[in-house]
Structure 1
């Protein structure tokens, strides 16, 4: 009888220790990201015009338009001289859109947006956007 009680107590203690142990941390599984959408350059009578993306949602199209306008303003060139190379949906880890500036604080929330690659002249630019603003955090690549 005494052996049975000890075995029962041992099982009970083991069960309590298992139940009180912290849950193992799950490693986040990356959600399958949509592949970048390559876009073709539209031309009209031999004159370069901004690419007109096809098959994009209204939000994606608005993000592309915002990035083109931002880059055109930054470079002081007409928007029609900018070519869209690709559009990729991303989730930025915070409100900095992947481009934190020193001394700035950003909301620590996952921010859905887009990475848009553009070409102006011979240089390629990558802009990040959340649909409300567009930022360029890298130097142009040749």
Structure 2
């Protein structure tokens, strides 16, 4: 019995030490702000050399991969023109074109950013050191 009384006394003391909450019951309180000053996890950044890449010679394998991708999208490949080929270093494995909800390696990746034009439409492809090209439309994989 004495133990219960002691526990109740300690509980009463602890409750009375808390900060009082002074709100008017007739007015709704404002919700707490949920914004955070930190960056969300896995947010990717634009490539390090977005505009200042080094013009490079486009490897034949890259050109063939671009033509194959355009063909798979039913784009005529007989009039495809190379607009720009830049050697870049991407900030991570997303190659500057992240897909929402996907985690990528967090390491610098050497690659290329290649822009071509076919039938009056420009297509921008991102390449890593290996693997297929990524057609990037408005910062997202197409």
Report the TM-score when normalising by structure 2: 0.53
Output the CA distance in 2 between the equivalents of 1:64 and 1:99: 19
Output the CA distance in 1 between the equivalents of 2:76 and 2:120: 15
CA deviation after TM superposition for structure 1 residue 105, in Å = 0.8
Output the CA distance in 1 between the equivalents of 2:125 and 2:85: 10
Report the TM-score when normalising by structure 1: 0.53
Q: List gaps (5 residues or longer) in structure 2.
A: 1-47
On the 8 A contact 1:93/1:111 being kept in 2, the answer is yes
Q: List gaps (5 residues or longer) in structure 1.
A: 1-29, 38-55
> Which of 84, 90, 104 does residue 88 from structure 2 map onto?
90
Which structure has the highest helix share of the two?
1
Pairing of 1:1-142 with structure 2 (within 5 A): 35-36=54-55, 56=57, 60-74=59-73, 76-130=74-128, 131-138=130-137
Computed over aligned residues only, the root mean square deviation of the Cα atoms, in angstroms, reads: 2.4
Distance 1:94 1:34, change over 3 A: closer
Q: Looking at CA atoms only, which structure, 1 or 2, has the larger radius of gyration?
A: 2
